[in-house]
Amino acid sequence: MPAQTIVNTTKEGGCYCGAIRYAVSKPPLVKGQCHCRACQRYAGGAPQFFLLVPPEGFDWTKGSPAEYARPDLPNAVTRYFCPTCGTSLVTRRQDNPAVVVKVGTLDDPSRFTPHVAICHGEALAFHTVPDGIAIFEDLPTG
Ligand SMILES: [Zn+2]
Ligand SMILES: [Zn+2]
């Protein structure tokens, strides 16, 4: 094995009331912001900021989140949230095993910087995108 720099990348987070906790132990594949209407509903009108984490790098460490997927949508994502306080923590897509972690639920979200904006075609006039990051009008595939 080639020599590597070992860095402790584990990040922890949880919901507003503390009943649900998780750990992220792998570096994110994507760091982004999503402007879609569903994210706006969950985020008070703002885009949602997220880490896309490989599935082996995500673990629930306390409590059991509730799940919801819209039955009327053919490719509905599954949303994981605290059944007590309602905080939206994680989303998983049917076509991608990676875990979408909501940045605001990290214990320390202060070092996050997005490098991609997705679903920007649904952005509202008051949304902002940092200079120089990639913008996709839709959900990029692959
Ligand atoms: Zn909670
Ligand atoms: Zn979205």
CATH at residue 105 = 2.170.150.70
Confirm whether 140 is domain-assigned. Answer: no
Instruction: Tell me the CA–centroid distance for residue 34 and ligand 2, in Å.
Output: 4
Tell me if 5 is assigned to some domain. Answer: no
Which ligand approaches the C-alpha of residue 15 most closely?
1
Total domains in the fold of the chain: 1
Q: Model confidence over 50-88: pLDDT tens digits?
A: 999 999 999 999 999 999 999 999 999 999 999 999 999
What range does the domain containing 40 cover? Answer: 11-135
User: 141 in a domain, yes or no?
Assistant: no
CA–centroid distance, residue 53 to ligand 2 (Å): 16
Cα 124 to middle of ligand 1, angstroms? 29
Average pLDDT over residues 40-51: 97
Nearest Cα to Cα of residue 55 among 76, 33, 25: 25
pLDDT in tens, 93-133: 998 999 999 999 999 999 999 999 999 999 999 999 999 99
Confidence of residue 140 (pLDDT cuts 50, 70, 90): confident
| Positions of E strands within 82-125 | 88-93, 96-102, 116-118
Domain membership of residue 37 (yes or no) is: yes
From 73, 78, 86, select the one nearest 42 (Cα to Cα).
86
